[in-house]
Amino acid sequence: MACSSLPDLTFGDVSDGGALEGSSGDGPAVPPCVCQTPPAGWTPVNFAPTSRPSCPASETASDLRVIGGDGTPTCTCTCSDVGGGCRTGTFALSLSMEATCGVLPTNASVPVDVASCAPLGTAVSVPAGAFAKIVAPVPTSCTPKAALTTAVTSGRTCEPPKSGTCSADQFCAPTARSGLTSCVARAGSSACPPDFPRRSTVGTGADESKACLGCACGAPAACTGGKVSLYDGSMCKLVGASHGSDVASVCAATSDSNFTATHFKSTPPQGGCSGTTPTAPATPGTLTFTDERTVCCK
């Protein structure tokens, strides 16, 4: 069969019942090779930047790590709690018969972020006329974490073979397939040809360890606020003879008393490192690809 040079044709998807010319399938015939002349120095490929669909048997699959654009990273810096945090530690709960909650108190530890009714580790007596308070945890430091704003993804190219029926500068056009886009590729870092303006930088591996630099955090903000609600039943409800009392960070008389608390809910305090502005933002470093290639799509 004669091979034509038709670089912009779209071809049927042979994965869903289409048959190659001369085969016995019921779908439309697909030529075994349509010659394509890519831009000088480029190879035609089908490309999936964020998935790895199967390639036709005649095409070479390459599993890649991918980032859009020229490979220059963009970065963010976040700060997280070390040594306990406002949403991860425990409240120190104190119950006392006097108004500072400091004289002969009954103490307990209560997790800070439990929205559903949960059992206390040890039942706590809330005597008549009791006062109570909670003390929020204290993060000891903030640790910085730099991360790429645009993640490196796992993708794939399907590359057609050279064909004896095409001229030396041509390839068999890639077979169109679900999840893949018609593109061109070449080794190294290059500007895209005018007809294929959408650029991705790819490689068989990617080293992100030096992609984002300079991230730093200051001291954590104090944990403030929050609430513990104590109940004498497993439903954490105030119905009939059921009891319950809310305890805040300031020592105060309990809203209900003369019961034994067996269950609780809690609302975490605010502060810590999660809302901390980094003292030094993450700046772009070097994102290194193994076997780096440039893929350009229409």
Residue 211 pLDDT = 93
pLDDT for the residue 32: 64
**Do residues 20 and 60 share a domain?**
yes
User: Can you give the pLDDT at residue 13?
Assistant: 35
State the residue range of the domain holding 195.
14-73+150-211+288-297
Q: Is residue 137 located within the same domain as residue 241? A: yes
Note whether 137 and 23 are same-domain residues: no
Return d(Cα 27, Cα 33) in angstroms, integer: 17
Lowest mean pLDDT among 10-19, 139-148, 156-165, 255-264: 10-19
7 inside domain: no
With b for 16 or more beta-carbon neighbours within 10 A and e for fewer, the 8-17 pattern comes to: eeebbbbeee
Domain contains 260: yes
Residues 194 and 293 in one domain: yes
Q: What does the chain look like in DSSP terms, one character per residue?
A: ----B-TT-----GGGT-EETTS--SS-EE-S--EE-PSTT-EEEEEESS--PPPPTTSEEEEEEEEETTS---EEEEEEEES--TTTSEEEEEEESSTTS-SS-EEEEEES---S-EEEEEEEEE-TT-EEEEE-----EEEEEEEESSPPEEEEEEEPPP-TTS-TT-EEPPPP-TT-EEEEEEES--PPPTT--EEEEEESEEE-TTSEE--B--PPEEEE--EEEEESSTT----TT--EEEE-SS-EE-SS-SEEEEEEEEEPPEEESTTPPPSB--EE---EEET-EEEEE-
For 198, the token pair is 């959408």
Residue 24 has pLDDT above 80, yes or no: no
Whether 283 maps to a domain, the answer reads no
Residue labelled with tokens 């290194």: 288
Whether residue 8 lies inside any domain: the answer is: no
Q: Evaluate whether residue 1 is within a structural domain.
A: no
Higher pLDDT, 75 or 276: 75
> Can you give the pLDDT at residue 9?
35
pLDDT tens digit string along 32-90? 688 888 999 999 999 999 999 999 888 999 999 999 999 989 999 988 888 778 888 89
98 pLDDT exceeds 70? Answer: yes
Residue 161 lies in a domain: yes
pTM of the model: 0.60
Residues 140, 158 within the same domain: no
Domains contained in the chain, number? 2
In a domain, 278, yes or no: no
- The string of pLDDT tens digits covering residues 140-171 is 888 899 999 988 999 999 998 887 788 888 88
